[in-house]
Amino acid sequence: MNALKLIVFLVFFPLFQNNYAQENIKEKLLKIAIIEEKVMMPMRDGIRLSTDIYRPKNIKKAPIIFSRTPYNFNTWQNEKEEFRTMERAYEAIKHGYAYVVQNERGRYFSEGDWDILGIPLTDGYDAFTWMTQQVWSNGKIGTLGCSSTAEWQMAVAALDHPSHAAMVPQGYGAGIGTVGEYFEQGNWYRGGAEQLLFPSWLYSVEHDKFKPRIPKGASQEDLIRISRFYDLAPENPPVDWAESFKHLPLQDLLKNVNGKKEIYDKMIRRKPNNEEWFNGGLYHDTMDFGVPSFWFVSWYDVSVSPNLALFNHVRKMAKDEMVRDNQYLVIAPTLHCGFTRATKNTIVGERSMGDATLNYDDQIYAWFDYLLKGEDNDFKKDTPRVQYFTMGKNIWQASDTWPPSKTVMKTYYLQSDGNANSRFGDGVLSSKKDKRGKTSDMFLYDPMNPVKSYGGGVCCTGNAVQGGSFDQREMEKRKDILVYTSEPLKEGVEVSGFIKSTLYLSSDAKDTDLTIKLIDVYPDGTAFNLDETIQRVRYREGYEKEVFMNQGNIYEVPLTPMATSNYFKKGHRIRIEVSSSNFPRFARNLNSGGNNYDEINSKIATNKIHHSSNYPSSISLPFVENK
């Protein structure tokens, strides 16, 4: 009987705790907050956006923390999101802020039609204007959110609304169209190859065109009442994405799983330079930027490098000196939006990062206090311009710039005796160019047997890819992975910054992809991945045109820069892997030179990586000089 009681206790006590916590946060919130649900905020075209407002009872005019999202925050049906929303609202009100959360147009109780990139930028601008005009507003608004709740902020910041006084974008890569060397169009591409996170993400979040709709003009009273009965959140049948991503043609991925396909159908056909990428909600570096920002980035997110490039771009190019001077950055050793989940023993994949905790909330509220309340606090004195976590040392470090100012680029050249295939081959990374007789390595790339994605910076791919740092040794047995490894390091070195790589390729295919992965190899052989990238070869000369290969010619292929901060300890080795696929993180190149998205037939490519003195394939690493 005692054993039975224990089992019942272990099963039901966590549920009781969770329910108690939710009830407790409700009670605490009601004591200090005035809550207005389903306020239908009008946009300039007459569309109304569903908005919940939490404002402090004891403050007549409060600054606002604003979160706009495509996700469900119905506080009556969705208990998990209800709890999160109330927690955020409670923390904001405790700190003297109103908290406003709003659904994008076409999402849940908001009117209009939703489009992942087509939502008018004016929605954000109009929301700022409406909130500023409320009698309880002090006229200052800060935006806060991660992922889809952050990505809209950059393009709206270019509009420079006078009340938009501060931003905290986190995991925001899908809001960046083009910046510097990066032409990702909101993470749809990397190096011209499609990132497959979007089909699975769209399947999980997009509402069907035949969804139930609330009649336009419904009253706030009616909306509150029906929200108790109808959540408007679909329950999609589960999908085995590890298998579903294999479906060809690529354009039919969502059709194959009975998903809503209209947005995907449209986007999968867009080439990287399509004008539609520049008409939606993406930020491009041709735009100005008008808002002080506290950026949060993760080493194992889908878009580390362009996120860091945007921080640098705004610091250098924003027209307003005050905006340029008020840009701050945190880079954490976590997965997508995993900042607050860092612990005193943070494990990312299989690699321990040690104590990766940081006082995120304290810093964020100090930032908002400084800019939204006008407090003369110590944020600028106490907060480093860049806080970055160095893996390997497992410590937080500070710098005035990214990369740190005391970095020196060191170039390693690929070498071999012609057999760098797999980790059992003879591939070497050397500080000298290859002068030996065998000056290339050949591998076969079969799109029907691609190199599997194993770890890395990922998001939203279901069961297909697990993000983080994993031992790559099993993967490195494949003959279609070229492996180049340095000698054991005589002294430990810190590599922090952007990593540039150039490969020289010949192929019997008109087009193919090149992938590269940077790895820290431990003395026992454990090989932890740090970052990876890809380049579709037809875009090696830029994304405005496609240039195909001719058999027998050798082509220079620069890859989009990677980024990391890692301490390679004494006795460790630096390794790179080179191949032509990293699937299903990136779509397979079928090697035909065709559209790729509408094809089902593939060609096996014979690819050669050249590393002679005339064709010096190389990788350049940012070494931090001893302090």
For residue range 464-500, list pLDDT tens digits in order: 999 999 999 999 999 999 999 999 999 999 999 999 9
Residue 252 lies in a domain: no
Cα–Cα distance, 338 to 333 (Å, whole number): 9
Six-digit token pair at 538?
């037809």
Q: Which of 103, 124, 149 is the last residue of a domain?
A: 149
| Tens-digit pLDDT profile for residues 429-447 | 999 887 766 689 999 999 9
Confidence of residue 327 (pLDDT cuts 50, 70, 90): very high
CATH number assigned to the domain comprising residue 39: 3.40.50.1820
Q: Is 129 helix (H, G, I), strand (E, B) or coil?
A: helix
Return the pLDDT at 437: 61
590-272-328-359 Cα dihedral, nearest 10 degrees: -40
Given a contact cutoff of 8 angstroms between Cβ atoms, the answer to whether 520 and 526 are in contact is no
Q: Over 50: is that where the pLDDT of 201 sits?
A: yes
What DSSP line would sit under 326-349, residue for residue? SEEEEEEEEETT-GGG--TTEEEB
Cα–Cα distance, 291 to 34 (Å, whole number): 29
Q: Over 90: is that where the pLDDT of 340 sits?
A: no
Strand duo 48-56 + 482-485: pairing:
unpaired
**Radius of gyration over alpha carbons of the chain, in Å?**
25
CATH number assigned to the domain comprising residue 448: 2.60.120.260
Cα torsion 610, 616, 620, 625: sign: positive
Six-digit token pair at 45?
């075209």
Q: Is 388 helix (H, G, I), strand (E, B) or coil?
A: strand
Residue 207 lies in a domain: no
Size (the chain), residues: 627
Whose tokens are 């679909």? That residue is: 234
Return the pLDDT at 209: 83
Residue 310 lies in a domain: no
Q: Over 70: is that where the pLDDT of 584 sits?
A: yes
Residue 365 lies in a domain: no
Contacts of 320 (CB under 8 A, 6+ apart): 290
Return the pLDDT at 7: 47
Return the pLDDT at 627: 56
Return the pLDDT at 36: 96
Taking alpha carbons only, the member of 584, 613, 619, 607 closest to residue 248 is 584
Cα–Cα distance, 64 to 166 (Å, whole number): 10
**Hey, which bits of 464-604 come out as E strands?**
482-485, 493-507, 513-521, 527-536, 555-568, 573-579
Residue 204 lies in a domain: no
Q: Is 24 helix (H, G, I), strand (E, B) or coil?
A: helix
Taking alpha carbons only, the member of 334, 585, 587 closest to residue 465 is 585
Residue 87 lies in a domain: yes
| Tens-digit pLDDT profile for residues 143-191 | 999 999 999 999 999 999 999 999 999 999 999 999 999 999 999 999 9
Q: Over 70: is that where the pLDDT of 335 sits?
A: yes
Contacts of 211 (CB under 8 A, 6+ apart): 232, 234
pLDDT > 70 fraction of the chain, expressed in percent and rounded: 94
Given a contact cutoff of 8 angstroms between Cβ atoms, the answer to whether 311 and 329 are in contact is yes
Given a contact cutoff of 8 angstroms between Cβ atoms, the answer to whether 266 and 243 are in contact is no
Let me know if 591 is exposed, middle or buried by CB neighbors in 10 A (0-12, 13-18, 19+): buried
Q: Is 414 helix (H, G, I), strand (E, B) or coil?
A: strand
Q: Please give the residue that has the higher pLDDT: either 469 or 80.
A: 469
CA atoms within 13 A on the CB side of 181: 18
Instruction: Establish whether the linkage from the previous residue to 234 is cis, with ω within 30° of 0.
Output: no
Q: Minimum mean pLDDT among 5-9, 339-343, 436-440, 517-521: which range?
A: 5-9
Confidence of residue 76 (pLDDT cuts 50, 70, 90): low
User: pTM of the predicted model, to two decimals?
Assistant: 0.94
Taking alpha carbons only, the member of 125, 32, 25 closest to residue 81 is 25
Residue 271 lies in a domain: no
Cα–Cα distance, 351 to 334 (Å, whole number): 11
Return the pLDDT at 79: 58
Six-digit token pair at 276?
């539609």
Let me know if 160 is exposed, middle or buried by CB neighbors in 10 A (0-12, 13-18, 19+): middle
Cα angle 538, 541, 542; round to 5: 90
Return the pLDDT at 20: 45
Let me know if 377 is exposed, middle or buried by CB neighbors in 10 A (0-12, 13-18, 19+): middle
CB atoms under 10 Å from CB of 145, counted, come to 25
Contacts of 608 (CB under 8 A, 6+ apart): 440, 441, 442, 505, 506, 507
Mean pLDDT in the chain? 93
- Residue ranges of alpha helices (H) inside 72-179 are 79-94, 122-132, 153-157
Q: Over 80: is that where the pLDDT of 325 sits?
A: yes
Q: Minimum mean pLDDT among 52-61, 137-146, 300-309, 338-347: which range?
A: 338-347
Q: Over 80: is that where the pLDDT of 16 sits?
A: no
567 is in which domain, residue-wise? 407-624
Return the pLDDT at 309: 98
Number of domains in the chain: 2
Return the pLDDT at 210: 86
Within the chain, how many helices (H) and strands (E) appear? 13, 27
Six-digit token pair at 94?
């405790």
Q: Which of 99, 127, 149 is the last residue of a domain?
A: 149
**Hey, which bits of 285-390 come out as E strands?**
293-300, 327-335, 346-348, 351-354, 386-390
Mean pLDDT on 372-385? 96
> Partners of 329 in the beta sheet?
295, 386
Q: Which of 125, 149, 173 is the last residue of a domain?
A: 149
Cα–Cα distance, 415 to 441 (Å, whole number): 9
Cα–Cα distance, 461 to 300 (Å, whole number): 14
Residue 516's identity, in one-letter code, is I
Confidence of residue 11 (pLDDT cuts 50, 70, 90): very low
